[in-house]
Amino acid sequence: MDPNIILKAAIERQEVSAIEALMLMQQEEPGFADIYQVANELNRRTHQGVTSFVHRTHIYYTNVCRASCRHCSLFRKKGDKEAYTLTPDQVVERVQASPVRNDIAVQGALNPDLSVSYLVRLIQTLRDEFPHAHIHAFSPTEVHFAARRARVPAREVLEQLKEAGLDSMPGTGADILNDKVRKKISPDRIRTADWVEIVKSAHRLGIKTTASILVGHVENEIHICEHLEIIRNIQKDTGGIVEFQILPMIPEGAAFGNSRQRISQQQLLKLVAISRIFFGNSVQNIQVPWALFGLPEAIQCLSMGANDLGGTHFQGGAVYTSGPAARYTSPELLEKAILKAQRRPRQRDSVYGDGTKKTVRTRKAALALR
């Protein structure tokens, strides 16, 4: 099929199939410009020149992990001198020490010493202390691991977490939703069907999630297009995905070793553009995390279909990918970079609501005001 026919259909808001997305992905250089132009136009229609970012606190409650994903450099085995696990009170202390307490993201690793009741207690403790904060916590991988060890359905764990005060979940650990690829890069982690089921269960309980893709390892273009289709099908079913996050693997320090080249910016730009075209009216927000892309590179993606730069705080990312240690930029610097790219900045929360609410009080402060 002529790629121009696919692009014409996309601009007329018709759905692009996975095969058509693959054809676009296999285009050679001269055809890129048209793909970028269509993606940019679809982005403009949806977001009217607004680029968002989230200013929230990230806490990693443990780095002890039973898995050894080949793309991860941050997990530690039990007993390792750098291994750590925080108690729920220590997590609260870290949030209290942070300037941002109205949006809290919590993630960890597959620590066999932590039970479902630890996860629930962690959310309850945060909710008690920060009654009005948005709590965004636990990937499908963590929920699946805890549920399996407790021999209870994942849905039951999600119900308990929601009851304790969980608002939304990161859709990380999706990597590539193809079990052959997953066996190669993360053999001990959740399989595709379980990831999909947990995400759908969360949505049915009213817990919104993000979704993600990890690229730059052993995947090929067919795997990528299959992955996009799985995510879009979830969205058609539940409507609970608020963002599609593109994660380039950073090979340095991971088991893949330094022999592996980083994925090129050109490949990333193409993926950003095709994601915008493929998701059309379904997943509205395409995120390019500045800390993994690099700020100039992420800004370049804004003209290719991306509308979100990720968070001001970025911590290591054991659950995202291997790579940089904690990185931070201020909201002001992100706003400045967005304005320079001739777009309007917007500070959002974890589910794309208004992220500028600054009135969140701790429980102690609220009691003192009574």
Binding site for ligand SF4 (CB under 6 A): 65, 67-69, 72, 75, 109-110, 141, 186, 189, 318-319
For residue 363, give the amino acid letter: R
Report d(CA 224, CA 245) in Å as an integer: 13
Report d(CA 74, CA 4) in Å as an integer: 44
Closest to ligand SF4 by CB, 67 vs 150, is 67
**Residue 73 C-beta: closest distance to ligand SF4, Å:** 8
**Residue 170 C-beta: closest distance to ligand SF4, Å:** 12
Looking up tokens 């690829």, which residue turns up? Answer: 181
Q: What are phi and psi of 164, to 5 degrees?
A: -75, -20
Sequential DSSP letters for 52-68: EEE--EEEE-B-B-S--
What's the CA angle centered on 354, arms 349 and 357, to 5 degrees? 90
Closest to ligand SF4 by CB, 190 vs 306, is 190
Closest to ligand SF4 by CB, 76 vs 121, is 76
Alpha helix stretches (DSSP H) within the chain: 3-11, 18-25, 32-47, 88-96, 116-129, 140-150, 154-164, 179-185, 192-204, 221-238, 265-279, 290-293, 295-301, 331-340, 363-368
Backbone CA torsion sign across 38, 39, 43, 46 = positive
**Residue 351 C-beta: closest distance to ligand SF4, Å:** 23
Report d(CA 252, CA 266) in Å as an integer: 20
**Residue 12 C-beta: closest distance to ligand SF4, Å:** 40
Closest to ligand SF4 by CB, 175 vs 197, is 175
Closest to ligand SF4 by CB, 24 vs 65, is 65
Closest to ligand SF4 by CB, 7 vs 249, is 249
What six digits make up the tokens of 139?
């990937």
What's the CA angle centered on 344, arms 13 and 24, to 5 degrees? 35
What six digits make up the tokens of 166?
């969980």
**Residue 78 C-beta: closest distance to ligand SF4, Å:** 12
Closest to ligand SF4 by CB, 69 vs 105, is 69
Closest to ligand SF4 by CB, 124 vs 186, is 186
**Residue 142 C-beta: closest distance to ligand SF4, Å:** 8
Do the strands 327-328 and 313-314 form a parallel or antiparallel pair, or are they unpaired? Answer: antiparallel
**Residue 264 C-beta: closest distance to ligand SF4, Å:** 23
**Residue 69 C-beta: closest distance to ligand SF4, Å:** 3
